[in-house]
Amino acid sequence: MTAVRYVEATRTYPGGETPAVDSLSLDIADGELLVLVGPSGSGKSTALRMLAGLEPLDAGAIHIGDRDVTSVRPRDRDIAMVFQNYALYPQLSVAENMGFALKQHGVPKDERTARVRETARILDLEPFLDRKPKQLSGGQRQRVAMGRAIVRQPAVYLMDEPLSNLDAKLRVQTRTEVVELQARLGVTTVYVTHDQVEAMTMGHRVAVLKDGILQQCDAPSTLYHQPVNLFVAGFIGSPAMNLVEIGEAHPARIGETEIVLDRAAADGAGRLTVGFRPEALHLGDGPLPARIRAVEDLGSEMFVHVAVEHQGDTVQLIAKTSPPFGGSAGDRVGLQIAGTMHLFGEDGSRVASGPASLSSAGAVSRS
């Protein structure tokens, strides 16, 4: 049973002004697949390297299981890591690569061979055991890197963007394989990625980091439906959430069109920003006039980019709709909102969420 705990873990790089990871507190349950996600520079890789023991902590602690490993060497932490570039030992064969850690830990040769064979079988690597890494394709190398971690049967797997060097199709396929494998092995896994789709599809929970600070750690659907702040709202979801600054005006409007919503909870939060997902934006004869900028047809769904006049500016919104959709670039449409709308206060945090729509009356009276 191995849970992982970050307790106010902080790391400032030498010469750095602000911490790369700032007071990170995170509880990762036994057997959980936790994804650390964020844009580059968010500290996600640093957080992982701190857990690996490759970066020292300037403050706080990290526990693996019952053990405080803050000052324990990487080799004594009982972890295995998959690197973005795989870090396979080029001069060793696949079998030797996978058996390297076992050999270092003094596992007898027979057992070593058996465990490497078994892992190779799981990963379909048996035909390649005698090859050198450079004789393998990218996907095969990736599997060897996974195998090298699996064969050790460690307490925790650490994965640092292990799929980002694969082409798109293979990445999606491998994503599923990693999830299946992790579920089967039931080993606590911390997975770093910058790709929010990867994060949402793989993680039991997803921790969103920005500038070294944990923004939110929740199940993917919670992140999607109840983002704690503007950053998470904008980062999670593809295409991104529509965000419109509406200021402090009563009643709230987009352009000239009034938004019907309960905003009592948002009183005193200063200038507000409203957010709504592309699937909540409907195109047709709604009250908010807009111009279509582009239509992206993905077959199963369509993304329609529209421009709306709002407070003297042109605001870009995206609607997600199902085919068929007759409109094309340049057409004029009327927008309606039907779904959840989030209100974010001046400091970026979410102050209220609820069903919202655009008032037809307001639009009619003005048209």
Binding residues for other proteins, rule: CB under 8 A, are: 52-54, 73-75, 77, 79-81, 83-85, 87, 89-92, 100-101, 104-105, 148, 152
Closest to 312 measured CA to CA, from 266, 233, 238, 254: 254
Q: How far is the CB of 172 from other proteins (least distance, A)?
A: 25
Closer by beta carbon to other proteins, 75 or else 366: 75
One-letter amino acid identity for 210?
K
Round to whole Å and give the CA distance between 205 and 100: 32
Amino acid letter, 358: L
The dihedral through the CA atoms of 251, 256, 260, 263 has a sign that is negative
Strand partners, 82: 159
Evaluate the CA torsion angle 219, 221, 224, 226 in order and state its sign: negative
Instruction: Give the residues across from 290 on adjacent strands.
Output: 333
Residue 307 CB: number of other CB atoms within 10 A?
15
Question: At closest approach, how far in Å is the CB of 74 from other proteins?
Answer: 5
Nearer to other proteins, 84 or 226 (CB): 84
Q: Cβ neighbours of residue 320 under 8 Å, at least 6 residues apart?
A: 239, 277, 278, 279, 281, 301, 302, 303, 304
Type of residue found at 30: D
Of 86 and 224, the one with the shorter C-beta distance to other proteins is: 86
CB 271 within 8 A of CB 346: yes
Q: Give 97 or 321: the residue with its C-beta nearer to other proteins.
A: 97
φ and ψ at residue 350, rounded to 5 degrees: -75, 130
| Identity of the residue, 62 or 343, whose beta carbon is nearer to other proteins in the bound complex | 62
- Please report how close the Cβ of residue 109 comes to other proteins at its closest, in angstroms: 16
- Tokens matching residue 269: 């939060």
Give strand pairing partners of 229. Answer: 349
Q: How far is the CB of 80 from other proteins (least distance, A)?
A: 7
**Residue 14 vs residues 17, 55, 69, 213: alpha-carbon distances, Å:** 9, 11, 22, 18
Shortest Cβ 162–other proteins spacing (Å): 12
To the nearest whole angstrom, how small is the minimum distance from the Cβ of residue 203 to other proteins? 22
Whichever of 109 and 366 has its CB closer to other proteins, that residue is 109
Please state the closest distance from residue 207 (CB atom) to other proteins, in A: 22
Residue with token string 């057997």: 31
CB of 314 to other proteins, least distance (A): 46
Separation between Cα atoms, residue 236 and residue 310, nearest integer Å: 25
Phi, psi of 179 (to 5 degrees): -60, -45
Instruction: Please identify, using beta-carbon distances, which residue of 87 and 315 lies nearer to other proteins.
Output: 87
* Residue (52 or 252) nearer to other proteins, CB: 52
Closest contact distance (angstroms) between CB of 90 and other proteins is 7
Closest-CA residue to 337 (of 298, 266, 301, 284): 284
| Cβ atoms of residues 51 and 62 within 8 Å | yes
Q: Which is nearer to other proteins, 62 or 288 (CB)?
A: 62
